[in-house]
Structure 1
């Protein structure tokens, strides 16, 4: 029986952790396959465990819903982490997307996707989050798509004074890069 209770508590924990916001009792009960009253007892047992073990998290009850959150006593630790400067890594995908935006700005996601050949939502969103790219307005076309361009932070990070200082690619280099790209594509198609 304890094994079954542990499994159900783990499921409740996973639900509350993953959802982030409060989750209605009925939804939790449905997810674990039990009635509301049994589910409520399991949640309260889980809440008691967190209190007894002096964990950094707790489950709170909000009307007929439950939410996992951090104990108030842990806020100082969280603030120390939050105050640390963010470090981020620019993956090949992000660098490729950033290059397209830098050289073609202002540019829409659709234009970037045409060049890259794949969806760019995640890459563009990450670049916006890193403050290397921002919205520069909207294109006067159906749907009024957002135009993206680089920021002052981009200039700072790459130690350039203006977009005009970006390196230019000679026509010979463009042809070499095109050939390499075509060979890579052919290799992938042959696999």
Structure 2
């Protein structure tokens, strides 16, 4: 391995401090490439730093969690601290999704990109309200338009969807034939 990747603790701590600040200030997911540019370092080097930084947060008692989604990183709070955050912000806890929204989200996550008409054909009922709820909760997004007459909107999942379900990539969703449905 290149000596460039063997760092003493003081230098690593300096990079970790800078990375922590970038993630905190940026708020939104930030790509590995953008972190590399800001730090003035090569992507491969920063990838190694981020792997170790991820372990640091995974194995600590910190209140923050590092989310990684498709080579983008973002801080969020640990789920076990939600009740304290809700209390501080004096907001209601996350409302669960309706059955219609869950069905709609499932269809979108497995069939994306998909139109409202395709969703409604699968569900057998209108899905306008469920789609709007999922858009409002930033679990789905408009991901283009189908190139047919009327150019209907195509829907797909968001990075927030991945974060909420604790996965990095859509490929981590269970195979559709492995999903057990309770009636």
TM-score normalised by the chain length of structure 1: 0.45
Q: Could you say which structure has the larger radius of gyration?
A: 1
More helix by share: 1
Which one scores higher on RCO, CA 8 angstroms, separation ≥ 6? 2
TM-score normalised by the chain length of structure 2: 0.47
